[in-house]
Structure 1
Amino acid sequence: MIKCIVFDFDGTLVKSNEIKRELFFKVIQPYGDYDFIVESVLREKAEADRYVILTEIASRLIATGNLVENVSSDELAFSLISNYAKSSEEMIVSCEEVSGTTELLNSLLIKGISLFINSATPLNPLKKILMLRLFDKYFAGVYGRPNSKIENMQIIMDVTKSEPSEIIFIGDNEVDRQTAETIGCYFIGINNASSCFAFEPNYSAINMTEAKSIIFNMLI
């Protein structure tokens, strides 16, 4: 019996993956043409959060010795992180949802299934975005960075007193798949342009409409 369903956020419920990636390039534009630095950091630190990525970008920008502004690496990192946070919040609050998201969440709420978010987004910005999108009403709990997704899943299991076999995790990337594999719960992979699963998930969908059919078959 399924007791709870856990969702990743970016790329799973809303179409925000590309928005977040492009913002790394946008926030450095005032400092010159340094896209190659962003590309390099994103490649080397693919699983890191925005703080780690932008701190490293700031360090490498300073190291070029070409910046007009006389700022320290820490000051530049703070500025980049602040600008990124402001822009990402505004854009993700208004971006398109993955098809079928609201319908699925409403259906699961009616059925009384406990729903959770497990995201790599820092927790406070994540909660604010969910509130502004009016998504917060659907979720019994919201978990993000600094915890890993595995740590968050363990917390959810403790809170709900659930066994792995009683949980479905829905996500759109390899970290999500690996998290479900490590925990031992069911996994539904959402296939999009950013997914890149190392192994094809046992259950997969291209949107929440398809995922709904899979979920409701599992709830029977």
Structure 2
Amino acid sequence: MLEFRAVIWDFDGVILDALPVRTEAFLYALREYSQEALEEFKCYHLQNGGISRFVKISHFFEKIIKQPCPETLKQKILSDFHRVVHERLFDSSLLIIDSISYIQEHFSHLEFYIASGSEQEELRSLCDFLQISRYFKGIYGSPTPKVQWVEKIVQNSVYDTKEFVLIGDSMGDYESARRNHISFLGYNNPNLKSVGQYILSFNPLCFAD
């Protein structure tokens, strides 16, 4: 990645192995609904990385069970989701050593950012807890969509779009890069090999053929 001067990192699945915990949190928060609805939602959730909890919960009510979601109910669901995340995700053993070692080695001479679908204040608190905040020039999350954060990061940087790359594990990450005319590197999701370069390992840095 020597040709790049700035790297925008996705968080879940790239820096932290968070997907199982977030899946559990969603299923707990929506536990009062039918198993059929939860299974449909789980498939949607797993196929749509990089999308905020706010959008996913709206999808559950609008597209899956087709019921209104009063604000009080939405807040209860978000509170239940947050409780599981806070209990289970604040755990340094979930850091992905392959990527975090690369970040620790190169943050002093490359410009690193995080752009995530995770809620921003929770994300920043988590990065502080994990003692990784200092590696990043900016840490950004929802409710602002990732594609907008990528746009703002690129606009406010001294580097040109051709010097940026986004590293992610979902098609949503790929789309955020494509729509902002920056490069994309897939990681930790073999399905992304079909859309461009794919990182097999950071240590040593190795790409799929």
Give the TM bin, normalised by the shorter chain.
0.7 to 0.9
1:35 lines up with 2:38 in the alignment: no
Q: Alignment partner of 1:100: what SS?
A: helix
Q: Partner of 2:146 in structure 1?
A: 149
Moved more, 44-53 or 121-130: 44-53
Q: Partner of 1:218 in structure 2?
A: none
Give the drift of 1:183. 2.0
Give the drift of 1:44. 5.9
State which of 198, 201, 204 in structure 1 corresponds to 2:198.
204
AA in 2 matched with 1:34: S
Higher Cα Rg, which structure: 1
Deviation per CA, 1:32-58, whole angstroms, max 9, x where unpaired?
Answer: x62322233455676552124335657
Checking the alignment, whether the CA contact within 8 Å between 1:4 and 1:115 is kept in structure 2 is: yes
State which of 29, 36, 51 in structure 1 corresponds to 2:54.
51
Identical-residue share of aligned pairs (%): 17
Aligned 1:16-165 pairs, distance under 5 A: 16-29=18-31, 31=32, 34-42=34-42, 47=48, 48-54=51-57, 57=60, 73-94=70-91, 95-110=93-108, 112-165=109-162
Give TM-score scaled by structure 2 length. 0.81
Deviation per CA, 1:60-104, whole angstroms, max 9, x where unpaired?
Answer: 8896xxxxxxxx843232111101012113322215222312311
Checking the alignment, whether the CA contact within 8 Å between 1:13 and 1:208 is kept in structure 2 is: no
Q: Alignment partner of 1:120: what SS?
A: strand
Give the drift of 1:175. 1.0
Q: How many residues align?
A: 199
AA in 2 matched with 1:50: R
Instruction: Report the CA distance shift for 1:57/1:2 in structure 2 as closer, same or farther (over 3 A).
Output: closer
AA in 2 matched with 1:200: S
Instruction: Report the CA distance shift for 1:122/1:19 in structure 2 as closer, same or farther (over 3 A).
Output: same
Give the drift of 1:14. 1.1
AA in 2 matched with 1:26: Y
Provide the rounded CA distance (Å) in 1 between the counterparts of 2:196 and 2:41.
Answer: 32
Provide the rounded CA distance (Å) in 2 between the counterparts of 1:180 and 1:58.
Answer: 29
Instruction: Report the CA distance shift for 1:17/1:134 in structure 2 as closer, same or farther (over 3 A).
Output: same
Checking the alignment, whether the CA contact within 8 Å between 1:188 and 1:204 is kept in structure 2 is: yes
Provide the rounded CA distance (Å) in 2 between the counterparts of 1:24 and 1:93.
Answer: 17
